[in-house]
């Protein structure tokens, strides 16, 4: 008796419907429509661009968070990596009178922070969450010592233009996010380094036995992540006009939530940055709905916490069943 087989096109459709990216796209569509029903002006092009501008800062931070989570870790030093880098940019630019010097100093700080975290995780074999949480505490104290409690510096014309300017109705900072996102997708899909990241997330031990230099790969991952957080911090100065001590706080846990919502396994080894971009947009669509409903800041934080717990619960169960 012959076994009945579905045509190849039906198998493809079934696979498509079960894909994470499609689920993310459906969530974006549902939230987008819901936002438009609650607020008719939501579909205005200028408003949509404003949402994308707010999303781009988190999106750039999530480049690094995605790479780290793919290796099986998570970065809990986002808040003060962003804040310290921004403060270094502002104060160095003010003291030297050169925004270029401020940019170079901030990037150097980002690289040093990445090296510190990467060496701790890769060579000292400290658990990523413990290492990055301790780093965040160190960076918080360093930020206050560095600024002596007085924030100096402000945005410069070129930085304000990148953060707030536009071409053909598209903001420059959104274009920066798209370009960095495309480079990240290429890195993960088309390079040997990207394959090493997935291999480490799947099994660190097997990767080592296969000849992968896991220590160097992890260090580079943490350096890239910290540099992306630095870039986000500098762009935030352009958007806000000046640095402040809480500018990075809102991105600490929500960056992890966005990555996991986008389909990246919290255990590592599976996911994509394209999904993360969708997760970032979902986060901000939810935030927009909460604002439309006049939910207070404290209420929005509660919702953010619930989202993180739900996402971890759902993906944790899916990992156990696969």
More confident of the two residues 213 and 287: 213
The domain spans of the chain are 42-314
Q: What is the DSSP string of 52-120?
A: HHHHHHHHHHHHHHHHHHHTT-----HHHHHHHHHHHHHHHHHHHS-HHHHHHHHHHHHHHHHHHHHHH
Least confident of 17-31, 171-185, 270-284: 17-31
Distance of CA 196 to the CA centre of its chain: 20
Statement: residue 68 has pLDDT above 60: yes
> Per-residue pLDDT tens for 237-246?
988 888 888 8
Statement: residue 207 has pLDDT above 90: no
Q: Please, what sign has the CA dihedral across residues 132, 317, 14, 195? A: positive
Is 115 exposed, middle or buried, given 0-12, 13-18 or 19+ CB atoms closer than 10 A?
middle
Could you tell me what percent of the chain has a pLDDT over 90? Answer: 40
Domain boundaries 42-314, CATH class: mainly alpha
Statement: residue 163 has pLDDT above 90: no
pTM: 0.87
Least confident of 147-156, 164-173, 313-322: 313-322
* Predicted pLDDT of residue 50: 80
Average pLDDT over residues 100-129: 93
Closest to 128 measured CA to CA, from 47, 200, 48: 200
* Predicted pLDDT of residue 17: 45
Statement: residue 274 has pLDDT above 70: yes
Least confident of 121-130, 251-260, 312-321: 312-321
Statement: residue 160 has pLDDT above 80: yes
């Amino acid at each position: 008796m012959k076994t009945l087989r579905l045509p190849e096109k039906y198998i493809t459709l079934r696979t498509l419907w079960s894909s994470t990216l499609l689920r993310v796209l459906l969530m974006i569509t549902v939230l987008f429509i819901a936002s438009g029903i609650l607020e008719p002006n939501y579909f205005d092009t200028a408003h949509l661009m404003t949402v994308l501008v707010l999303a781009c800062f988190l999106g750039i931070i999530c480049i690094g968070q995605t790479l780290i989570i793919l290796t099986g870790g998570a970065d809990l030093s986002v808040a003060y990596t962003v804040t310290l880098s921004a403060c270094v940019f502002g104060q160095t630019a003010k003291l030297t009178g050169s925004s270029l010097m401020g940019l170079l100093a901030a990037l150097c700080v980002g690289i040093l922070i990445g090296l510190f975290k990467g060496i701790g995780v890769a060579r000292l074999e400290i658990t990523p969450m413990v290492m990055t949480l301790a780093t965040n505490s160190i960076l918080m104290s360093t930020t206050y010592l560095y600024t002596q409690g007085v924030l100096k510096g402000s945005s410069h014309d070129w930085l304000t233009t990148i953060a707030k300017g536009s071409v053909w109705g598209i903001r420059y900072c959104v274009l920066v996010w798209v370009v960095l996102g495309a480079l990240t997708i290429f890195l993960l899909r088309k390079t040997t380094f990207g394959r090493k990241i997935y291999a480490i997330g799947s099994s660190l031990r097997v990767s080592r036995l296969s000849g992968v230099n896991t220590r160097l790969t992890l260090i580079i991952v943490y350096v890239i992540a910290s540099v992306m957080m630095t870039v986000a911090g500098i762009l935030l100065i352009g958007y806000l006009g000046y640095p402040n001590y809480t500018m990075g706080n809102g991105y600490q846990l929500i960056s992890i939530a966005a990555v996991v919502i986008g389909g990246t396994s919290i255990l590592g080894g599976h996911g994509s940055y394209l999904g993360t971009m969708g997760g970032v947009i979902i986060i901000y669509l939810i935030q927009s709905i909460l604002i439309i409903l006049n939910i207070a800041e404290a209420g929005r934080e509660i919702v953010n916490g619930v989202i993180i717990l739900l996402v971890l619960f759902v993906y944790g169960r899916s990992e156990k069943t696969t």
